């Protein structure tokens, strides 16, 4: 049986580990040079920083994953630096691009561990140089040992906000402010559920306490106003506090993000149906508890199958591999699967509490000013999307997301709506006075990411 695993983050590593243990040698494809996923992305050779300083509390887990990854590489068909840009579920074929060369990989079963990316809510000035996603700010630190600026403001919500701010401050960067759009009370209410998270929750509390002890400016329940500056960079962030007072923090860089969303384009192209998860406020591909999808041969694991975090990703990766083996007629140890399923169920309860603690602030997207740049690829402002929803244009109203894309080009550019899609959906839904599930989601179209027009076929 030929198994392909896409992604070498926590989910991919544990999936491949389980497949190799069963005597298989999967094709293992990753976009990065050395695997690890975004969370445990590895520095380039020669960067002399130890795991402890790169990964903090997660150093042990990161090192364990990297060790497993390195041990598995020679036992698989390991293909780093390779983008899977399309999938043909009928032909059971993955389309890959590596070093400018096209290739196709056939599979009997494919486990897609495609990870996640930050959810962004555009605000005035968000495209200035010096503004990055929270994830990108973290990757700069982890893989290059550099900060995104000298004086950095972190803006958004979610566990990553506090973690990245902590990591930056600890690495010696000047963290000028941590601006959480979630009010303190929302987080406090979720505390009973968060206790399920045990050590993870404790670490979160530690980061917050540590940042406070260092005297770093922290505000909760904020409304971001603008990122000020010019074409050459950022000079300040302005925001409104819960009492309605306006504030300004000078800075030269901003890391921002409002939780994560699955990078599920491959699952979409594989024709896996999606459902809207109200708690995560994300469209997630449909799968069972073991990662099986309604599409023959397609299995999902990790954050790409729905946000769960790195620890859950390791478990879902192993679980999906077990499902592949089970479906191929391998005998499994029932104790292993039962134990794994039980741990996954417990983690799901913690994750639900985390989502309640840091809900996606749809109201910020819905309140976006008409002249705010919404879709940066196509230069579309929020007001232009709103106009398309109403019957103002000669084309009539756009009643759903893909029609709005057709009329306005929202989500039609280089990123295919990966960046602006979540906010655009909220704006359209608000204008049409309906819910995000009602207006649907942007259809996936190949390539998953841009590919060069002149890519050669592999010999």
> What DSSP assignment string belongs to 168-186?
HHHTT-EEEEEEESS-HHH
> Which of residues 223 and 402 has its CB atom nearest to another protein in the complex?
402
CB of 360 vs another protein, minimal distance in Å: 26
Burial class (CB in 10 A: 0-12, 13-18, 19+), 278: exposed
Q: Render 332-364 in DSSP notation, one character per residue.
A: --HHHHHHHHHHHHHHHHHHHHHHHHS---HHH
Determine which residue in the list 95, 114, 133, 372 makes contact with another protein, applying CB under 8 A.
Answer: 95
When the beta carbons of 6 and 307 are compared against another protein, the nearer one is: 6
Q: Is 335 an interacting residue with respect to another protein (CB under 8 A)?
A: no
Which residue, 50, 225, 104, 99, is CA-closest to 155?
225
Interface with another protein in residues 375-394 (CB under 8 A)? 391, 393-394
Say how far apart CA 349 and CA 197 lie, in whole Å: 9
| Residue closer to another protein, measured from CB, 230 or 396 | 396
3-state secondary structure of 132: strand
Could you tell me which residues are beta bridge partners of residue 151?
174
Q: How far is the CB of 101 from another protein (least distance, A)?
A: 11
Site for another protein in 66-85 (CB under 8 A): 85
Geometric angle at alpha carbon 260, from 318 and 120, rounded to 5°:
160
**Residues 238-277 vs another protein: string with x where CB under 8 A?**
-------------------------------x-x------
Name which of 39 and 389 has its Cβ closer to another protein. 389
Question: Min. distance of Cβ 452 from another protein in angstroms?
Answer: 6
- Kindly tell me which of 41 and 416 has the beta carbon lying closer to another protein: 416
The nearest distance, CB 279 to another protein, in angstroms, is 29
Give the Cβ contact number of residue 150 at 10 Å.
11
| Of the residues 403, 418, 423, 428, which one makes contact with another protein according to CB under 8 A | 403
Q: Which of 185, 396, 435, 458 binds another protein (CB under 8 A)?
A: 396
Among 104, 146, 332, 345, binds another protein (CB under 8 A): 104
**Site for another protein, residues 436 to 455, rule: CB under 8 A:** 445-447, 450-455
Q: Considering only CA atoms, which of 375, 440, 444 is closest in space to residue 408?
A: 375
Among 68, 102, 223, 438, binds another protein (CB under 8 A): 102
Does residue 127 interact with another protein by CB under 8 A?
A: no
Strands (E), 259-387: 260-262, 274-277, 282-285, 298-300, 373-375, 380-381
Q: State in angstroms the smallest separation of the CB of 451 from another protein.
A: 5
- State in angstroms the smallest separation of the CB of 241 from another protein: 40
The residue among 383 and 399 lying less far from another protein, judged by its C-beta, is 399
CB closer to another protein out of 90 and 198: 90
- Specify the 3-state DSSP secondary structure of 253: strand
Query: In the bound complex, what is the minimum distance in angstroms from residue 95's beta carbon to another protein?
Result: 4
Q: Report whether 389 contacts 428 (CB < 8 A).
A: yes
Name 285's bridge partners. Answer: 274
Query: How many residues of this chain bind another protein (CB under 8 A)?
Result: 33
Strand partners, 261: 117
Three-state DSSP class for 68? helix
Beta bridge partners of 236: 228, 250
The continuous run of DSSP H or E covering 106 comes out as strand 101-106
Q: Could you give the dihedral angle defined by the CA atoms of residues 239, 211, 261 and 155, in that order, rounded to the nearest 10 degrees? A: 20
Categorise residue 252: left if φ over 0, alpha if ψ from -120 to 50, beta otherwise.
alpha
Residues that bind another protein (CB under 8 A): 85-86, 88, 90, 95, 102, 104, 269, 271, 391, 393-396, 399-400, 403, 406-407, 412-414, 416, 445-447, 450-455, 457
């Amino acid at each position: 049986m030929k198994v392909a695993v896409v992604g070498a983050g926590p989910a991919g590593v544990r999936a491949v580990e389980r497949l190799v243990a069963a005597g298989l040698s999967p094709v293992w494809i990753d976009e990065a040079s050395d695997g690890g996923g975004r969370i445990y992305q590895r520095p380039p050779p020669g960067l002399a920083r130890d795991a402890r300083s790169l990964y903090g509390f997660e150093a042990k887990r990161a090192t364990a994953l990297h060790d497993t990854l390195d041990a598995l590489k020679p036992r698989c068909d390991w293909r780093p630096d390779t983008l899977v840009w399309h999938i043909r579920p009928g032909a059971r074929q993955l389309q890959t691009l590596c070093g400018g060369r096209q290739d196709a990989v056939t599979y009997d079963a494919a486990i897609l561990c495609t990870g996640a990316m930050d959810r962004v809510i555009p605000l005035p000035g968000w495209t200035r140089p010096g503004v990055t996603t929270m994830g990108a700010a973290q990757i700069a630190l982890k893989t290059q040992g550099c900060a995104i600026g000298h004086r950095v403001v972190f803006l958004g919500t979610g566990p990553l906000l506090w973690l990245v701010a902590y990591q930056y401050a600890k690495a010696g960067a000047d963290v000028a402010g941590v601006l959480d759009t979630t009010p303190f009370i929302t987080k406090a209410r979720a505390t009973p559920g968060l206790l399920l998270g045990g050590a993870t929750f404790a670490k979160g509390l530690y980061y917050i306490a540590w940042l406070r002890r260092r005297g770093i400016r922290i505000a909760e329940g904020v409304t971001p106003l603008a990122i000020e500056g010019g074409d050459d960079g950022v000079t300040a962030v302005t925001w409104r506090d819960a009492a309605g007072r306006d504030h300004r923090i000078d800075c030269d860089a901003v890391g921002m993000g409002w939780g994560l969303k699955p990078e599920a384009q491959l699952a979409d192209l594989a024709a896996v149906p999606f459902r809207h998860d109200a708690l995560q406020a994300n469209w997630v591909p449909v799968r069972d508890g073991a990662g099986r999808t309604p599409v023959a041969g397609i299995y999902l694991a990790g954050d790409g199958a729905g946000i769960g975090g790195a620890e859950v990703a390791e478990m879902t990766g192993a679980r999906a591999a077990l499902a592949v083996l089970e479906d191929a007629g391998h005998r499994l140890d029932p104790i292993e699967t039962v134990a794994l399923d039980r741990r996954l169920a417990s983690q799901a309860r913690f994750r639900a509490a985390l989502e309640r603690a840091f809900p996606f602030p749809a109201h910020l997207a819905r309140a976006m000013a008409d002249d705010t740049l919404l879709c940066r690829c196509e230069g579309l402002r929020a007001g232009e999307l709103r106009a398309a929803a109403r019957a103002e244009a000669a084309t009539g109203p756009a009643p759903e997301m893909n029609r709005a894309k057709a009329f306005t080009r929202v989500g039609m550019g280089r990123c295919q709506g990966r960046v602006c899609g979540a906010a655009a959906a909220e704006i359209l839904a608000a204008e049409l006075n309906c819910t995000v599930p009602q207006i649907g989601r942007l259809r996936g179209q190949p390539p998953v990411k841009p590919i060069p027009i002149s890519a050669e076929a592999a010999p």
